[in-house]
Amino acid sequence: MSKEDVKSNAALAGVGSMATRLLLAGLAEQYARETGQRVTVAAIGGVDAARRVQAGDAFDFAVLASAAIERLAASGHLVGARTDVVRSGMAAAVATGTAHPDIGTQAALRETMLRAARIGYSTGPSGKHLLGLLDRWGMAEALGPRLVLAPPGVPVASLIANGEVEIGFQQLSELKDVPGVDVVGPLPAGAQLVTVFSAAICAVSRQQRAAADFLAFLGSERAEAAKRAFGMEPAGGAQYGQ
């Protein structure tokens, strides 16, 4: 971190998807304790977050699914090295106190979904993957009327807790430790999607050196314990230069 950045005491401003909301908030607090650099992260739906970066909103960095980071880098809205932060898998969840259905195999998962009255899913990568699974299994038409799409920025867990859906699918990090929600387990082999969430510096940032230091922290061993506590795995740090 440069002396100028420390002297100004200006907070770094980032944007991220809901899947990493709690993780980034915790890591921002840890970083502030260790370095004195304040960091704030706006957590919104991934699609909206990418649009705001494209619009040139005043963010210093973005943490999004790696495919979105790559697109924004290719269009010149992000600069520097991409830092792969976490690997995040999908899970299924139901309301607390209800029976846990069998999702241990693809066949069991298909049967569970066919029996469910209403199924919650998200607008992000996990939602697109779920729709792709239903199409691949030839179930899209039959289950279409029972699918409930959570609005952008609204976690599927809230639909489960409120009784709006019988079962919901999203990143494990967004279902874990939510009051009123029980995680059934990860999706089985062949149905699982592991999303890599990556970070990069916004081209409009006026604190690119300080932002690079924070991204290095996100990819470091110092952040690994927090990642695992939130149901994710470290993804490997810096990956390429732009």
Encode pLDDT of 61-106 as tens digits: 999 999 999 999 999 999 999 999 999 999 999 999 999 999 999 9
User: 88-186 belongs to which CATH class?
Assistant: alpha beta
Mean pLDDT (whole number) for 26-35? 97
Angle at 14 between CA 11 and CA 18, to 5 degrees: 135
154, pLDDT greater than 90: no
What is the arithmetic mean of pLDDT over 169-196?
Answer: 94
Class of domain 3-87+196-240: alpha beta
Sequence-distant (≥ 6) Cβ neighbours of residue 21 within 8 angstroms: 41, 43
Half-sphere exposure of 42 (CA within 13 A, CB side): 18
Q: Is 165 a residue whose pLDDT tops 90?
A: yes
Query: Confidence band (pLDDT; 50, 70, 90) for 9?
Result: low
What's the whole-number average pLDDT of the chain? 92
Tokens 């919650």, located at residue: 120
Q: How many CA atoms lie within 13 A of 147 on its CB side?
A: 17
Domain residue limits, the chain: 3-87+196-240, 88-186
Q: Quick one: pLDDT at residue 152?
A: 77
Nearest one of 65, 61, 63 to 88, comparing CA atoms:
65
Q: Where are the alpha helices (DSSP H) in 9-61?
A: 21-35, 46-54
User: Is-contact 198 66, C-beta < 8 A?
Assistant: yes
Helix 21-35 vs helix 208-218: crossing angle, to nearest 10: 110
